[in-house]
Amino acid sequence: MNRKWKSEERLMLVAALTCCIGFGQLDPTAAQDFMRKRESLNVLFIIADDLRTSLGCYGDPIVKSPNIDQLASKSVVFKNAFAQQALCGPSRTSLLTSRRPDTTRLYDHNSYWRAHAGNYTTLPQYLKMNGYLTMSVGKVFHPGIVSNHTDDYPYSWSIPPFHPSTQKYKNAKVCKGPEGKRHANLVCPVDVEEMPEHTLPDIQSTEEAIWLLKSMKSVESPFFLAVGYHKPHIPLKYPQEFLKLYPHEEIHLAPDPEVPPKLPPVAYNPWADIRRREDVQALNISFPYGPIPDDFQVLIRQSYFAAVSYIDTQVGQLLNALDELELANNTVVVFTSDHGWSLGEHGEWAKYSNFDVATRVPLIFYVPGMTAAFPLPGQRIFPFISPFNNKVGELPTGLTRDVNVELVGLFPTLCQLLGLPVPPKCPESSFHVELCTEGTGIARYLNSDPTSCNSELVAYSQYPRPADAPKLNSDLPVLKDIRIMGYSIRSDEYRYTQWVGYNPSTFSANLSDIHAGELYLYKTDPGQDNNLYNNVEFAAMVQKLTALLKT
């Protein structure tokens, strides 16, 4: 396992923690309160990459996710949690700063918010300022310019973030084709022993995270450990034995695999990154609306589900270690994803849209003594469950909440749970404000009394486009090419999206310059296939929702 920094950082870590000041970067108030904080709850924050709500605990009848389901059985499960943009960098930056994409001014992967928008305080940075040892493993911040090529270290983290050494082979030609040659494919089950370094990135991340948890046993300060798994992000590369969980004949197409007839062209995601994979290129699919052949759609769905089960085993091993180290009784566990992923719904693949399949994410909160009773001595909380165990069955779902919530609210929620001062609400213009939140804390929904969850909330998402019709850069336009912004509202009743003119030079949307709109009634059209925006019967509703977007 690659730990280039580990030998020297291990000494730094032990020395700093012995001094009880968390690497000397705590503010004076936090230093004075350190002895009080040492009894605080820890946080294990787990974030998957491109994971939609295809999990057993979310009612998926196909996906085998026993370890995440076990976590859910002792947690509160938010059934309707939404990302603020269905793209890795903008979503993660929004989540970790508690600011929306229009405030981070990040819609692509080409800028660092501290230099580009404002010196915003992040969730791990705030915890670090308040006496927490903060650690990052894998993909937490989006790597590269988005996080200043350092994962925002040293602002956010007490020690340098860990990235698995094998991630550099992400797009390498390691996928075995039927002719025996190696390719850079979309569908890529592999023999792990044949991979570079004989391992995979998420396996390395689990090993590192467990090593850090073991190190925390002798540490008196509370910790925040963020673990970011790379899968099921493409390429769909995972240990080939997970295919056995999903026989080809049991996999079906999406329930709505056709492009909806009333879908505005600007709303369509032409999945350009999927088209660049060698196995997809070989299909010679016409751009932008040519469908993937049915048999290959089944292969993609099969491999996506297998990759989810692979991640479930990693989560299970991590939670098992937390349990065995007797840390589960004083550690909050949060499990989520940066956004969802289309698996053929609306004729679309990948993310890059405002539909539920792209914006809806799993969000699970385990709070010891709150969402589940403290265990009896010797009782296990999170024993590892193999997905290959024939006895794996349904677990109780835990407490579920149907209320609409947003990832931008995670920052204030954790502050509420940890007993820290909740950042104030941001003013209308907050580029100059370092610490504030544009989200709403949801700790009140962790109460076991379901009557506490009657509030009507809406969730907001957005996505940029370069033009009214699909182009090769429609999925991921760089800032200078953005001409249209799609602002979307999701409530219990509807999904409403309005596509309006956008000026990238001034970072401003013209809400009066309407290019297209979408209105879906969620309860009768949960798949969001019948666009009612131009239906005169719903003109008053469209007018009302348009006004809501302007507030």
Q: What is the pLDDT of residue 12?
A: 52
| Alpha carbons 530 and 13: distance in angstroms, whole number | 56
Tell me the mean pLDDT in the region 45-58. 97
Q: Once rounded to an integer, what is the mean pLDDT over residues 75-100?
A: 98
Nearest residue to 349 (alpha-carbon basis) of 85, 86, 112, 4: 86
- Predicted confidence at residue 21, as pLDDT, reads 33
Largest CA distance in the chain: 69
Please answer whether residues 215 and 324 qualify as being in contact, where contact means their C-beta atoms are separated by less than 8 angstroms: no
When pLDDT is cut at 50, 70 and 90, the band that residue 30 belongs to is very low
Where in 156-220 does DSSP place strands (E)? 175-176, 182-183, 187-190
pLDDT score, position 9: 53
Q: How confident is the model at residue 29 (pLDDT cuts 50, 70, 90)?
A: very low
Q: For position 395, what pLDDT does the model report? A: 76
Tokens representing 150?
């350092």
Band of pLDDT at residue 39, cut at 50, 70 and 90: low
- The answer to whether residues 234 and 50 touch, using CB atoms and an 8 Å cutoff, is yes
DSSP 418: H
Report how far apart the first and last C-alpha atoms of the chain are (Å, whole number): 51
Least confident range of 113-117, 141-145, 306-310, 376-380: 376-380
pLDDT > 80? residue 59: yes
- Closest by CA to 545, choosing from 458, 446, 470, 448, is 458
Partners of 44 in the beta sheet? 225, 333
**Cα–Cα separations (whole angstroms), residue 401 to 16, 56, 336, 451:** 41, 16, 15, 11
Tokens of 441: 């804390």
| pLDDT confidence of residue 455 | 58
Q: What is the pLDDT of residue 374?
A: 83
Gap between the Cα atoms of 209 and 203, Å rounded: 10
Instruction: Encode pLDDT of 157-180 as tens digits.
Output: 999 999 999 999 999 999 998 888
Give exposure, 492-509, as e/b (b: 16+ Cβ within 10 Å). Answer: eebbbbbbbebebeebeb
CA-closest candidate to residue 527, choices 272, 250, 259, 252: 259
The DSSP annotation for 217-253 comes to TT--S-EEEEEE--TTSSSEEEEGGGGGGS-GGG---
**3-class DSSP state for residue 360?**
strand
Q: Tell me what pLDDT residue 398 has.
A: 82
pTM of the predicted model, to two decimals? 0.93
Pair of tokens at residue 169: 């082979």
H or E segment to which residue 515 belongs: strand 508-521
* 225-242 burial: b if 16+ Cβ within 10 Å, else e: bbbbbbbbbbbbbbbeeb
Q: Tokens 């002895």 label which residue?
A: 35
pLDDT in the model for residue 302: 98
- CB contact at 8 A, 267 and 486: yes
| Residue-averaged pLDDT of the chain | 91
* % of the chain surpassing 70 pLDDT: 91
Does position 460 have pLDDT exceeding 80, yes or no? yes
Residue 391 above 80 pLDDT? no
Domains, the chain, ranges and CATH?
6-549 (3.40.720.10)
Is the confidence at residue 434, as pLDDT, over 80?
yes
What pLDDT score was predicted for residue 450? 59
Is the predicted pLDDT of residue 8 greater than 70, yes or no?
A: no
pLDDT band at 333 (very low <50, low <70, confident <90, very high): very high
Could you list the active site residues? 88, 142
Looking at the chain, the whole-number percentage of residues with pLDDT higher than 90 is 85
Listed in sequence order, the residues at least 6 apart from 206 whose beta carbon sits closer than 8 Å to its beta carbon are 227, 314, 317, 318
pLDDT for position 447 = 79
**Tokens 């850090």 belong to residue:** 212
Closest CA to 112 of 479, 505, 377, 375: 479
pLDDT score at 377: 77
Q: Is residue 476 pLDDT above 60, yes or no?
A: yes
Mean pLDDT of 285-297: 97
